[in-house]
Chains A and B, each alone.
Chain A
């Protein structure tokens, strides 16, 4: 356990707050100071509002003083990926298109965090409109991997993952459309979870691909992730795709459920292209579960190789429509000189969208076009059903499936940015779960010879987040990878 406040877990901080050994102002100030000290290397944050954060912290302390804390997270700082609306704060989605946009309303997640008393602070960097796997597509800044500043943090929620890894915020929220929480969590050595589609309201999350997007937690431990997930989950009448299910007490259940579980391994996830060190670490994790009495079962997910192409049809189709609203008319950036309405659209979208966003809008527009719709979009939807069915079949035999989160540890900045296909393949193990709408968690399970973190992915059945958290927690209890922190020199 670290002596530094900024490296304490949310659970530890929560205890220290209730024992009156720390105040929220002290915690918040410590986290802000840490950010000021290291973010000039990590570049996780696009901006933060120190005054507002400290005001929230004071209010939290006042509640504690009166003996009226709102929840376990009351007073704990939580930073947001810059696609989640926070009233009065900027929301740029790391795009020049929204450079000057201030959100006039709270996302449902943000509202729930505020209602729980959390200190909601800071805007975290991402790939523009969450499109990318390295955070290199941000129009504003390049986030670096805290374990090796020359490497990417993964993406698209690179800022959210790096901030937790670097001790800049004990908890953060990200969003995951094809792996955008789990892959950066894996590359940055933290816990990241994508809940079942519909568990967390998308209201207030700038949409990338509506049928795949989910908000989820980043934390240093599974227990912390459970606390944050608990707070943001639940039905929301403002999101028609949000489900009406009871949210269990994840934190309580994760301590109670001890297994043993039936765990599946799919050969499709250990195929060519998988880094040998990653493979070795994941197999060690499998052995660990075996040693604790879990039954390991071989399962088959035969349509896995179709997941990436299907994803790039469905996600881009939805994105091409979702991003139409950025047109220079109401609130987005607007090109200075234009001849007429159509010219305004061309110039605005040409000037303010980055190349990856344009690539995906063009692709998505193409697959929805008259004459191509059946061959691409409709067929992709059919394959999506097959992929979902693969998982349903597998879950008849097992409680969860163990896979690597990413094929390789963090790669160097610039290494893949010229080759979109190789970049797209870094999400090969995470994409299927979004297509199937299933929950999945990534947690640290080792380090490469060069000291880069390796992540383990556990995929669960729909609405069985509690099981998934318990299985992940069991592994974490038996290892101390999560306790390692990157060495970052403070230049301040």
Chain B
């Protein structure tokens, strides 16, 4: 029997705002426990919520990026449940009238190989609503402690339709969503900091059936690989159950990343009754069309649009565009560089090889961001320019790179100071070539026997003799002239 999984995702994303959703308490990661609080955050008697306009703006922007319909009027509801991480013991959310309705996420599946673009598809969305995050609980043997710094952080919930069909699609969906939101500066989407969290609703049915199977909600999918593994596990668990003649129970299960399995948290009978009702402390929000149009006009180009443009207009290979386009800072750096030196391919090669290698080695905690580093578009533009002009070889350029970063000087300046200009005097190089042929009889023999690559050993000898300053194209010409 062949089975098919149907998956819907609920993705929670923390918005990048200065202050919290319903009060002016500041909002950032890593502060001392319970320092980002005030009467509203702690739900003291008499505290009242007021809306954060920036959070509404970022939610509308998300909706526009994902082709949602933006509500004209949006309302606030209370979701009532008791839990110590929730100071009011209710969460302010949007159950009945969310800010964004419908929409879709463009995803890219893995291509046939690393170098080819994969299939693109649009996954249908149900809605995006705005709500507030809860605090953080830490459990000890006899106690639990709670930190309310995170409580009240603006949080959007992006709810998909059941329109994903395997763990690879889930992975592609989360990747696309994260790239899009980070690119638009809506969120940093750092899963390790809890800025992007995902619950999955999974059901399985016989292939060809149109009716959905019983759905199971999976929680605690806290890393991208966790999501992929958790979803894969749960699909197989359900198929195995059906195969052995069992029925699927509607329930909520928790992914155990250490053990690699899901365990039941609660069944439908024990589901919460959240007793939603309109929050009487907040007025409905009226969204002016002019504002929406203004935000729409100012939206950044999406990573996929950018990728298509780089491939079509700049003739860059897929592999390089897939490195440049998901990262807005990097693609901005690329564009700033080609604005100075309009050699897209050479510039892109420099960025995706040397610059990225340097950034990954330079960071104390993971990769350094290009903005934090000292590399400027001017540095790369200058390097590309003098390489293309033949002033220095690519090898020398690569060797110079650490010094450029250390001193902040342009390559052309260092080359001049150190006299590193490439030797293109063919008379002098010819003498060195002849000498090298004499010193490497084995390589010469191999080359003449048809082993093309053997010439590299002879070239290396010449390069060494010139300390890398000879123009490799000229060496190649002369050697072939002497040998052939």
Q: Is the CB of B282 within 8 A of A327?
A: no
A105-B39, A240-B282, A370-B275 known; A325+B49 contact, CB < 8 A:
no
Interface assignment of A321: CB less than 8 Å from any CB of chain B: yes
CB distance B82 to A345 under 8 Å? yes
A206 touches B277 (CB 8 A): no
Nearest to B34 among chain A residues (CB) is A330
A103 to B282 CA separation, bound complex (whole angstroms): 23
* Other-chain residue from B45, B281, B283 in contact with A98 (beta carbon distance below 8 A): B45
Q: Which residue of A lies closest to B23 (CB)?
A: A238
Question: In the complex, what distance in Å separates the CA atom of A331 from the CA atom of B146?
Answer: 13
Q: Closest CB-CB distance, B130 to chain A, in whole Å? A: 15
Which chain B residue has the least Cβ–Cβ distance from A314? Answer: B280
Given contacts A325-B89, A341-B144, contact A205 B46 (CB under 8 A): yes
Q: Which residues of B contact A237 (CB under 8 A)?
A: 50
| Residue B51 CB within 8 A of the other chain | yes
Complex Cα spacing A327 to B90, Å = 12
Say whether B250 faces chain A, with CB atoms less than 8 Å apart.
no
Within A341-372, the residues touching B (CB, 8 Å) are 341-342, 345, 365, 368-370
Say yes or no: is A107 at the interface (Cβ < 8 Å to chain B): yes
Nearest Cβ in chain B — how far from A213, in angstroms?
9
Contact assessment for B80 and A324 in the assembled complex, using a CB-CB cutoff below 8 Å: yes
B87 touching A321, Cβ below 8 Å:
no
**Does the CB pair B281–A240 fall under 8 Å?**
yes
Contact of A206 among B45, B273, B281 (CB under 8 A): B45
Considering only residues 271-321 of chain B, those with a C-beta below 8 Å from chain A are: 273, 275-277, 280-283
Residues of A near B345 (CB, < 8 A) are none
Contact with B along A65-98 (1 / 0, CB 8 A): 0000000000000000001110000010100001
Q: Among B50, B83, B84, B277, point to the contact of A368 (Cβ < 8 A).
A: B277
Q: In this complex, what residue of A is CB-closest to B277?
A: A368
> Is B50 a contact partner of A365 (Cβ separation < 8 A)?
no
Query: From residue B306, how far is it (CB to closest CB) to chain A in Å?
Result: 40
Alpha-carbon distance A243/B42, docked complex (angstroms): 25
- CB-contacts of B172-221 with A (<8 A): none
Residues of A within 8 A of B48 (CB): 202-203, 238-240
Which residues 47-64 of B sit at the A interface, judged by CB distance below 8 A?
47-51
Q: Is the CB of A85 within 8 A of B89?
A: no
Q: Is A464's beta carbon under 8 Å from chain B?
A: no
B71: CB under 8 A from chain A?
no
Report chain B residues within 8 Å CB of A203. 46-48
Within the complex, what minimum Cβ distance (angstroms) separates B285 from chain A?
10
- Which DSSP category, helix, strand, loop or mixed, fits chain B's interface? loop
In chain A, residues 326-341, which have Cβ atoms closer than 8 Å to a Cβ of chain B? 327, 329-331, 341
B78 contacts chain A at the CB level, 8 A cutoff: yes
Given A206-B46, A329-B146, are A369 and B275 neighbors across the interface (CB < 8 Å)? yes
Q: Mark B136-149, 1 if CB is under 8 A from A, else 0.
A: 00000000101000
Q: A240-B49, A321-B275 are in contact. Are A211 and B280 (CB under 8 A)?
A: yes
A302-331 contacts to B, CB under 8 A, are 317-318, 320-321, 324-325, 327, 329-331
- In the assembly, what is the distance between CA of A239 and CA of B275, in Å? 24
Chain B residue nearest to A211 in the complex (CB): B280
Query: Is A325 in contact with B281, judged by CB distance below 8 angstroms?
Result: no
Tell whether, in the assembled complex, residue A327 and residue B275 are in contact, meaning their CB atoms are under 8 Å apart. no
State how many angstroms separate the Cβ of A344 from the closest Cβ of chain B.
8
Contact assessment for B283 and A241 in the assembled complex, using a CB-CB cutoff below 8 Å? yes
Q: Is A288 an interface residue (CB 8 A)?
A: no
Looking at the assembled complex, report how far the CB atom of B282 sits from the nearest CB atom of chain A, in whole angstroms. Answer: 5
The smallest beta-carbon distance between A487 and chain B, in angstroms, is 37
A140 at interface, CB cutoff 8 A: no
B47: chain A residues at CB < 8 Å are: 203-204
Q: At the interface, yes or no: A373 with Cβ under 8 Å from chain B?
A: yes
**A207 at interface by CB-CB < 8 Å:** yes
Is A447's CB within 8 Å of the partner chain B?
no
Query: Taking CB as reference atom, which chain B residue is nearest A212?
Result: B280
Most buried by B among A83, A104, A239, A325: A325
| Closest residue on chain B to residue A317 by CB atoms | B277
A203 CA to B281 CA in the complex, in Å?
Answer: 10
Q: Complex Cα distance A299/B144, Å?
A: 61
Q: Are B277 and A91 in contact (CB under 8 A)?
A: no
List the A side residues contacting B87 at CB < 8 Å: 325, 330
Give complex CA distance A203, B146 in Å.
Answer: 26
Once A and B bind, how many residue pairs between them come within 8 Å at the CB atom?
Answer: 99
Tell me whether B45 and A93 are in contact (CB under 8 A).
Answer: yes
Contact pick for B283, options A103, A202, A240, CB 8 Å: A240
Determine if A101 is an interface residue (Cβ-Cβ < 8 Å).
yes
- Distance (whole angstroms) from the CB of A394 to the closest CB of chain B: 25
Which B residues are CB-close (under 8 A) to A104?
39, 44
- Judged by a CB distance under 8 angstroms, whether A210 is at the interface is yes
Q: Is the CB of B44 within 8 A of A103?
A: yes
The answer to whether A329 and B84 touch across the interface, beta carbons within 8 angstroms, is: yes
| Interface flag for B459 (CB, 8 Å) | no
A275 → B minimal CB distance (Å): 34
B237 interface hit (Cβ, 8 Å): no
Specify which chain A residues have a CB less than 8 angstroms from the CB of B88 in the assembled complex: 324-325
A6 at the binding interface (Cβ < 8 Å): no
Chain B residues near A206 (CB, 8 Å)?
A: 45-46
In the bound complex, CA of A342 to CA of B84 (Å): 10
CB of B43 closer than 8 Å to a CB of A? yes
Query: Which residue in B42, B82, B276 is a CB contact (below 8 Å) of A324?
Result: B82
CB contacts (< 8 Å) of A91 on chain B: these are 45-46
Find out whether the CB atom of A331 lies under 8 angstroms from the CB atom of B42.
yes
B residues 358-408 touching A (CB-CB < 8 Å)? none
- Chain B's closest residue to A237 (CB) is B50
In the complex, A395 has a CB within 8 A of chain B: no
List residues of A (191-249) whose CB comes within 8 Å of B's CBs.
Answer: 202-207, 209-211, 237-241
Contact A207 B46 (CB under 8 A): yes
Please state if B44 and A331 are interface contacts (CB–CB under 8 Å): yes
| Docked pose: A207 CA to B45 CA in angstroms | 7
Given contacts A240-B50, A327-B89, contact A373 B43 (CB under 8 A): no
Choose one: B39, B44, B273; the contact of A369 (CB below 8 Å). Answer: B273
A24 to B353, CA, bound (A): 79
A238 to B83, CA, bound (A): 26
A121 interface hit (Cβ, 8 Å)? no
CA distance A407 to B330 in the complex (A): 75
Question: Which residues from chain B contact A107 at a C-beta distance below 8 Å?
Answer: 46
A463 contacts the other chain (CB 8 A): no
Question: Within residues 147 to 204 of chain A, which ones have a CB less than 8 A from any CB in chain B?
Answer: 202-204
Q: What's the least CB distance linking B73 to chain A, in Å?
A: 15
Given A325-B89, A341-B84, A210 and B46 contact (CB-CB distance below 8 Å)? no
Chain B contacts of A341 at CB under 8 A? 83-84, 144
Q: Which A residues are CB-close (under 8 A) to B51? A: 240
Say if the beta carbon of A377 comes within 8 Å of chain B: yes
Interface centre among B42, B43, B48, B89 (most CB of A within 10 A): B48
In the assembled complex, the CB of B85 is this many whole angstroms from the nearest CB of chain A, namely 9
Contacts of A370 in B (CB 8 A): 273, 275
B80, A321: Cβ atoms closer than 8 Å = yes
Q: Cα distance A104–B43 when bound, in Å?
A: 12
Q: Which residues of B contact A98 (CB under 8 A)?
A: 45
**B277 near A377: Cβ-Cβ < 8 Å:** yes
User: Considering the chains assembled together, what is the distance between the CA atoms of A312 and B362 in angstroms?
Assistant: 65
6 more contacts with CB within 8 A, not counting A83-B45, A103-B44, A373-B275, are A202-B48, A211-B280, A318-B280, A321-B275, A330-B42, A330-B43
9 closest pairs, A vs B, by CB?
A: A324-B89, A206-B45, A210-B280, A211-B280, A368-B275, A204-B46, A325-B43, A370-B273, A85-B46
- 23 chain-A/chain-B pairs, Cβ below 8 angstroms: A85-B45, A101-B45, A103-B44, A203-B48, A207-B46, A211-B280, A240-B50, A241-B280, A317-B277, A324-B80, A324-B89, A325-B45, A327-B89, A329-B84, A329-B146, A330-B42, A330-B43, A330-B87, A342-B82, A368-B80, A368-B277, A370-B273, A370-B275
Interface residues of chain A, those whose CB is within 8 Å of chain B, are 83-85, 91, 93, 98, 101, 103-105, 107, 202-207, 209-211, 237-241, 317-318, 320-321, 324-325, 327, 329-331, 341-342, 345, 365, 368-370, 373, 377
